[in-house]
Amino acid sequence: MEKETFKRNRKSTIKKIIIIGIIAILADVCKCQTVTVGTYSFVSSEDIALSDTLSRLFNYALTSDSVEFYGIVYDELESYKFLICFKSGYIMSKTNKNAIVVICPMDTTCTVTLYTNQNDKWNPIDSISDIDVIPVHFNVIFEDYNFDGQADLYIQATCSNGYPMSRGHLIIIDPQNKKLELHKEVRELANMTPDKKSKTVKSETWSDCDIKEGQHLTIVVNKWVNGQLKSKHSKTKK
């Protein structure tokens, strides 16, 4: 009897230690100014809705200088998986926090929403939906593509095998009103790279192949003209 009582007490003690350890870890995370929630899959056997996950991330973002999350959330209420990219902090200005949320159901299109923080409340500013992606190729890049000092958003929709050719959606963020603008003219441009020095955006393409030398990689220089990105000239690498 004493042995059984000892075993029960020992198991109870172990559980308490584990719980205390988890609480301590969470307390540590809350004290940090920069929180990286991780690049992992969040899968729960409980009925945790997608909205609950976003609520947690927004709560982290209130007390942290920056929060980044990229992963899969399984929503049992909807019986569905979602890809989520969440990034918050002083990403739009030095004085006010913003958050960008990209939600992508595993077999449909993405929705991008930009939020601003006012009086400890997250309010949506603008949103774009029906952005097509292949989930296995999904990736998000924050970079200034039109050289106005404001980080923009690139969502990778596809990426080819062999020599990777990344194609996707470019969303320009207005530095003044923070509105989102989808630039459909760049949808077929591959491997876009902004060049601050020349204020151009370089992209890549494969030219026709020949028997002797095979395919040629062509570097295309694109320039902003009247708010649209247009190809100006190209150079082929042999």
Q: What is the mean pLDDT of each run of 10 residues along the chain (238 residues)?
A: 45 36 34 41 48 87 88 70 87 87 84 94 95 85 93 91 89 93 95 95 79 72 95 72
For residue 113, tell me if it sits in a domain.
Answer: yes
CB 68 within 8 A of CB 37: yes
Is position 218 within any domain?
A: no
Domain that holds residue 112: 36-127
Q: Is residue 49 part of a domain?
A: yes
Residue 6's pLDDT is: 40
Amino acid 48: pLDDT: 54
Total-model pTM: 0.73
- pLDDT at position 15 is 37
Residue 74 lies in a domain: yes
| pLDDT recorded at residue 84 | 86
Residue 79 domain-assigned?
yes
Q: Is residue 211 part of a domain?
A: no
Q: What is the residue-wise DSSP string for the chain?
A: -HHHHHHHHHHHHHHHHHHHHHHHHHHHHHH-SEEEEESS-B--SS---HHHHHHHHHHHHHHSSEEEEEEEEEETTTTEEEEEEEEEESSS-SSS-EEEEEEEETTS-EEEEEEEEETTEEEEEEEEEEE---GGG-EEEEE-SSSSSS-EEEEEEEE-SSS--EEEEEEEE-TTT--EEEEGGGTT-EEEEEETTTTEEEEEEEEEEETTTEEEEEEEEEEEETTEEEEEEEEEE-
Residue 216: per-residue pLDDT: 77
pLDDT of residue 127: 97
How many independent structural domains does the chain possess? Answer: 1
**Is residue 137 a part of any domain in this protein?**
no
Report if residue 107 sits inside a domain.
yes
